[in-house]
A = this chain, B = another copy of it.
Amino acid sequence: MEEELKSLLQDVESLQRSQTKSPDSIDEKVVRIMNLAKTGASRRSKVKDMSAEVVDSNPYSRLMALQRMGIVENYERIREFSVAIVGIGGVGSVAAEMLTRCGIGRLLLYDYDTVELANMNRLFFRPDQVGMTKTDAAVQTLSDINPDVVLESYSLNITTVKGFEIFTESLKFQGSQKSGRSTGVDLVLSCVDNYEARMVVNQACNELGQTWMESGVSEDAVSGHIQLLVPGETACFACAPPLVVASGVDERTLKREGVCAASLPTTMGVVAGLLVQNALKYLLKFGQVSPYLGYNSLKDYFPTMEMRPNPQCSNLACVERQNEYIQTKPARDAAAKVKVEAEASAATEGPLHLENDWNISVVDDTEMETSNASSASGALPEGLTHELPSADKYPESLVVGEASPVVDDLEDLQRQLDALNAL
């Protein structure tokens, strides 16, 4: 296109000089460029409803099929959800693309960085976006992919005072929606690459009582994790030091000044996939939402565990949410009992979905949502180690306290890891 435009410019210049040349050839050229631009810029129009019709032109047919196959009860609900993604890097950008392609209602994107060629070893950004802010580049790509998604971009640093204020205000903003949520979003996904930013997301979510999921990839690029954090109900990020999947390399060594962290599109793609899969399970209520899932790519080992909140947590908002959670326990128990009874009586009345052509029943929500019974233990499953923060900023957070891995899982994992280590 550049060549054609150069030639057009020359023609216009010669026109300026002569004023006698016929402009017909210019006209033709501009029409040709218009056609070129049209082909390149064709965007699909917005759709009003998600159709399950099986035709090539339906962007949602393969997602709506999740209903017919008994995986999700009501897929179209996804359009009602708002998700905030903090950090649009190797994990966050792919997470944003996955949610966009799934037809999420609204995405809020936060980052302050710009796209560099050094980011090209991870998915999503393109060399022609170098120099753009990551949020602008993401909006450009995502709005082309799915114009149905409402995109909000915030090019700011959440670790500054001003940035933190805008961040929390944007999470709180509910607009004219009547959603029954306490904030304006259903879930926050943390995809940042440093300890400080994670502590800031933790602070905001504890203050707002906002459920969030954390993700991370080790600096040697070969392990990662995702974690669900429900203020008051699970450990917050300050309750226990962050965990890393042990990969035989001392994390502290990797944090030396001037050392460039390694990264791989594979590890980051897997972590983004596990994160958004967990988010979809949480939002659309199918399968089991993982409280913690690690990924050690050298051994293809995936440890899992649960962590209870620490009553001595240094984060005051976390302790407040814990107290609220304890106080509301009787009401929760009563509601759960009513639900179980209602489902038990529904079960005797017949199948869950009378219109179910394939006689496949939807996975039972109550079974899936029941969390593992856990007993107190300070030990971590083998394969996981604590990642020590480099600063002494939050020394209290190093007390593991009530963090309680599920012992049944733990023993199995230990046996499995011993077997793997013995190879």
The size class of the interface chain A forms with chain B is 35 or more
A260 CB contacts on chain B under 8 angstroms: 54, 61-62, 65, 68
- Which of A119-127, A161-169, A171-179 makes up part of the contact surface? A119-127
Say yes or no for A71: interface residue by CB 8 A criterion.
Answer: yes
> Could you tell me if B412 and A62 are in contact, using CB atoms closer than 8 angstroms?
no
Say yes or no for A293: interface residue by CB 8 A criterion.
Answer: yes
- Among A33, A69, A286, the most chain B Cβ lie within 10 Å of the Cβ of A69
> Could you tell me if B30 and A372 are in contact, using CB atoms closer than 8 angstroms?
no
A1 CB contacts on chain B under 8 angstroms: 37, 41
A267 CB contacts on chain B under 8 angstroms: 273, 277
Chain A 30-74 interface residues, beta-carbon cutoff 8 Å to B: 30-31, 33-34, 37-44, 54-63, 65-66, 68-71
> Could you tell me if A118 and B273 are in contact, using CB atoms closer than 8 angstroms?
no
> Could you tell me if A128 and B41 are in contact, using CB atoms closer than 8 angstroms?
yes
**Chain A 94-132: CB-based contact to B (< 8 A → 1; otherwise 0):** 100110011100000000000011101111001110100
Q: In the complex, A412→B421 CA distance in Å? A: 13
Q: In the complex, A103→B122 CA distance in Å? A: 11
Chain A 13-37 interface residues, beta-carbon cutoff 8 Å to B: 13, 15-16, 19, 23-24, 26-27, 30-31, 33-34, 37
Say yes or no for A243: interface residue by CB 8 A criterion.
Answer: no
Chain A 318-373 interface residues, beta-carbon cutoff 8 Å to B: 358, 360, 363, 367, 370, 372
A290 CB contacts on chain B under 8 angstroms: 300
* A70 nearest in chain B by CB position: B249
Say yes or no for A398: interface residue by CB 8 A criterion.
Answer: no
Q: In the complex, A54→B168 CA distance in Å? A: 34
Say yes or no for A379: interface residue by CB 8 A criterion.
Answer: no
Chain A 297-317 interface residues, beta-carbon cutoff 8 Å to B: 297-300, 302, 304
Partner of A298, one of B19, B58, B288: B288
Measured between C-beta atoms, what is the minimum distance from A260 to chain B in Å?
4
Say yes or no for A276: interface residue by CB 8 A criterion.
Answer: yes
Q: In the complex, A26→B10 CA distance in Å? A: 12
Assuming A126-B145, A274-B270, is B117 touching A62 (CB within 8 A)? no
Say yes or no for A204: interface residue by CB 8 A criterion.
Answer: no
A266 CB contacts on chain B under 8 angstroms: 98, 102, 273-274, 276-277, 280
Assuming A264-B280, A274-B270, is B33 touching A5 (CB within 8 A)? yes
> Could you tell me if B42 and A128 are in contact, using CB atoms closer than 8 angstroms?
yes
Say yes or no for A376: interface residue by CB 8 A criterion.
Answer: no
A57 CB contacts on chain B under 8 angstroms: 116-118
Partner of A128, one of B43, B121, B288: B43
* A371 nearest in chain B by CB position: B423
> Could you tell me if B16 and A23 are in contact, using CB atoms closer than 8 angstroms?
yes
A363 CB contacts on chain B under 8 angstroms: 248, 298
Say yes or no for A196: interface residue by CB 8 A criterion.
Answer: no
A276 CB contacts on chain B under 8 angstroms: 265-266
Q: In the complex, A41→B33 CA distance in Å? A: 14
Partner of A221, one of B34, B66, B97, B288: B66
Assuming A101-B265, A248-B363, is B23 touching A9 (CB within 8 A)? no
A387 CB contacts on chain B under 8 angstroms: none
Say yes or no for A392: interface residue by CB 8 A criterion.
Answer: no
Chain A 168-195 interface residues, beta-carbon cutoff 8 Å to B: none
Q: In the complex, A122→B101 CA distance in Å? A: 7
Q: List 12 A-B contacts (CB under 8 A).
A: A9-B27, A40-B128, A57-B117, A59-B117, A60-B121, A65-B259, A65-B260, A69-B254, A101-B123, A102-B121, A127-B145, A300-B304
List 6 other contacts, CB 8 Å, given A97-B123, A101-B121, A288-B299: A42-B130, A65-B259, A66-B221, A71-B262, A102-B266, A253-B360
Closest A-B pairs by Cβ, 8 of them: A287-B298, A270-B273, A65-B262, A56-B116, A269-B273, A266-B277, A54-B260, A59-B120
